[in-house]
Chain A
Amino acid sequence: MSRDAPLAAHAVNRRRGKSAGLLAAALLAAPVLVGLAYAIGASLGVVAAANDSQPSLARIARVLGERATWDSVLWTLWVAASATGLAVVGAVAVAVAFRGHARGDRVGRALAALPLPMPHLVAGMLGVWLLGQSGIAARAAFALGLIVRPAEMPPLVYDRLGVGLVLTLAWKEMAFLAIVSSALLATRGAAAEEAARTLGASPWETFRRVTWPLLWRGLAPAVVAVFVFVAGNYEAAALLAPSDPLALPLLVAQRATDPDLARHADAYVASVLLLVIASAAVAAHEWVRARWEPFVP
């Protein structure tokens, strides 16, 4: 009996552990679910409704039927994908170039990580000042005699492709991905790479067949995270994005401040869309993490 007691106690602890863990999970997810519920409720007109409106699906149907909504969604996904892609390229280049323990390596990694605490807002401000047609880059081009008037610079701000926004967000997110990549290389990469090199593989082959497969699997969750951070960001888009197509967070803000009262609640529908995209990303993030994380208890 006394020998079974610790085992039984341990089993009880395990069960309690499971419930406690799931309770923690529920509490963590609850605020988002509550926010989503309220946004859906406001879209239906059940809460936060104007005087003379009835709860109905009409508004949701109208917003989802508008061309502007889907243009927004596609444009936002395009910007998120491009910025993430660029950030990955930059981060991998930095991690591969500066792996190792030499002082140059440490300095390189530290510099790459410096923009990490930069708020999106400040990144957006810098983007406007640097990349505008009359920005610092343009003034440097003028000093070099390359251009005479701002209009001769390629439009990177308020442009339909969102190039300035993509570059700015890629720069900001690169710091985060560089840190993750460096950590991956330091912990997992060294042994395999060394084996490949001693077996005679060239640097490019080592990268292609050993380093990169390792990196992208380990980076995958961080890449999904960066994608959803870029897609949902408001401040940088407010400063750099064009008026048409409108980024989805900007569409939310525009409808919420529309002079026409009837369009206000459209903002809630657009918010629901954003939250749906984010939830899909969360599921993808977890699936990817489960698939490629080597240590799963």
Chain B
Amino acid sequence: MMVSPLVARGAGERTWRIVLLAVLALSSVGPMLLLAIWSVSGAWFFPALLPHTVTLVAWRSAIGSHALASALGTSTVLAVGTALIACAVAVPFGQQLARLAGWRRHVGAAAAFLPVAAPPLALGTGLQVAALAAGLGGTLPGVLLAHLVPAVGYLSLLFLGTFTLLDARPAEAARTLGASSWQAWWRVTLPQLRRPIAEAATIGFLVSWTQFALTLVVGAGAVRTLPLEVFAYVQAGEDRVAAVGALLLIIPPVLAMAALRWAALRTEVLPA
């Protein structure tokens, strides 16, 4: 492959890249390593760089903890539900927003971004009153609805972009060949959206999986998700069990993102 003058690299730039690569590796992988070490450490106080003792007590306590297992289940249900529902809602929303032009389009994009930008604690504090009044406070459906607020906004913005750039010609061709608008949508447009939908579902999952303040406030203490349990452990000073919980919290998203990236590399000529 011909190397363009752009990426011809001098020795100076090479060392700079290697240093940066090392720093990135440390700062990206280091934290996971730290969590893993914390989770198996016994007493570990200053100035020890490594734990004095290694013990599986925290892991055993976490695995045996009914509260943690139930929180894991609740988080999963909420995250999967959010991903599916938010995708289903955001696709038509995004499509309609993409059809707008001029000032309407700006209003639409701003409206989609507003629930994403609204600080979850402030949004939750306001929604909590509404939720309790509607009898949804402290219930799983209530928290699911709360999670959907930023998720649908985020995904609508994504699909706004997708539909703006989407090639409409295949669908139009299908229409001129006699397909109904539903058939054209289902059999031509939707397959074009496979990749964006997969990415959107992952993002919807992440928005709900990592959500903290909305669950805390709207859930009113009755709906316990994994982030809430981890935070509670940290505030009780139980750093070891919190580390176990944190590992449980970040491993699924990291795997999901890696899977998406791998799929992207496989199907595209240009790396993302």
Contact = CB atoms under 8 A, between A and B. Distances in A.
B267 interface: no
B238 to A, nearest CB: 12
Contact of B115 (A22, A28, A116, A229): A28
Contacts of B126: 34-39, 42, 268, 271, 275
Interface in A227-252: 228-229, 231-235, 238-239, 249, 252
Interface of A is mostly: helix
Interface string B190-233: 00000000000000001000101100000000000001001100
Nearest to B21: A108
A113 B257 contact: yes
B125 A235 contact: no
Interface of B is mostly: helix
Contact of A231 (B119, B213, B253): B119
Given A31-B115, A35-B118, A122-B246, A143 B107 contact: no
A256 B126 CA distance: 12
A50 interface: no
Interface stretch (A56-64, A66-74, A81-89, A186-194): A186-194
Nearest to B234: A125
B151 to A, nearest CB: 11
Contact of B46 (A125, A150, A233): A150
A289 B270 CA distance: 26
Interface string A80-110: 0000000000000110011111101111111
A282 B4 CA distance: 40
B96 A21 contact: yes
A121 B240 CA distance: 15
A136 interface: yes
Contacts of A23: 96
Contacts of B20: 93-94, 97-98, 108
A239 B130 CA distance: 29
Interface centre among B49, B123, B130, B152 (most CB of A within 10 A): B123
9 contacts: A93-B20, A101-B270, A112-B28, A121-B234, A171-B27, A252-B122, A271-B125, A271-B126, A282-B117
